[in-house]
Amino acid sequence: MTEQKTVVLGVTGCIAAYKACEVLRGLQKAGYQVKVIMTKHATEFVGPTTFHALSQFPVGVEMFDEAGDPVPHITRAKEADLFLIAPATANMIAKLAHGIADDLLSSTALACTAPLMIAPAMNEHMWHDTATQDNMRTLRARGVQVVGPATGYLACGDHGDGKLAEVDEIVAAACEALERQLDLAGKNVVITAGPTYEAIDPVRFIGNRSSGKSGYALAREAQLRGAKVTLVAGPTSLEDPYGIEVRHVTSANEMLEATREPFAAADIAIFTAAVADFRPESVAEGKIKKGGKDRLELELVPNPDILKTLAADKGDTFVVGYAAETQNVLQYAKGKLVSKNADLIVANDVSGTLGFGSADNKVWLVSQEGVVELDVMSKEALASAILDAIMDTIDATR
């Protein structure tokens, strides 16, 4: 019989703390045992007795209030298969981001090696404050999974971002994390991401609007599934994912050379980068001055096709390419599947609001078996769906 998994549920001082009771119940119905840690401020909204009655386990509040256990933060940290903080206030998010451990909950989080998931809840101005957003970027880069927040009516009477995500959404995300298979354990995965910049002179370049979000999401998801990941990234504003080797490049030629070595050892290679098709034939040594000119002519030459070049000698490596198109999306994707010797093409239409720079995307998965259309979803959810498709294809050919 499989041992029952444990969720350590952290509850912080927020009006949404009462919804943590529903989260607890949802996790229990899904078959998990739940042990609760509360901040002292959380007890102003819901009493520890409520969580004790629901969970059937003592509730931790103070660092040294558990008889017979001088280090409860270590004990609970070791028990967790998932550490879920719902709701997570701006204060707790700041503590997590900066490693502050001044109460039982933050100390346990710092000591815990299990996956960490947070469901933020706060006023919209607190959520959008630069400090909070900086802290969120830090946590996401470390692999912390984030659920929400939602948009709606807030406790203060405002309407905006910062509302705790729906209970069902939090429970579903937690269950998915708990049941995530380490199906990539022992595998090497290389991913290219972002744009390339091709220099015109020391200050100007040819580039595109790719943000790198899709590639970074894939890198984090592959790591969570147990893979050793190498991320070759063009210029982006994204923070390096914690624990992943990131090779920073600028141009297409640099990306090709940086990808050769990890590709040779890769079990799976995913080329999400939006590589510039052309580059200036020559780069001016100094900034090109307008100097009364009415026009400037640039001679462009083709860049190397990184996907095609490396996939030509792919061996047993499973190769995935991306096709960002503005028209005839599936037609071009099917052509690339063959011409670039890929096993799968992820196609998307970037002519509208989805695609480059957006949080969500809609794609089609094109392979020799046919075309699978996926719904619009976040790039994080999409990363999971793409890796599922890759593993399903690999398993089917064994």
Structure tokens at 152: 């709606």
Between strands 370-373 and 364-367, the pairing is: antiparallel
Does 112 participate in catalysis according to the annotation?
no
Phi/psi at 214 (5° precision)? -65, -45
Residue 60 is classified by DSSP as B
The phi-psi region of residue 341 (left if phi > 0; otherwise alpha if psi is between -120 and 50; otherwise beta) is left
The CA-based diameter of the chain, rounded to the nearest angstrom, is 83
Contacts of 330 (CB under 8 A, 6+ apart): 347, 364, 366, 371
Q: Which of 14, 21, 112, 156 is catalytic?
A: 156
Q: How many helices (H) and strands (E) does the chain have?
A: 13, 21
Contacts of 323 (CB under 8 A, 6+ apart): 329, 332, 333, 336, 345, 346, 347, 348, 366
Active site residues: 156
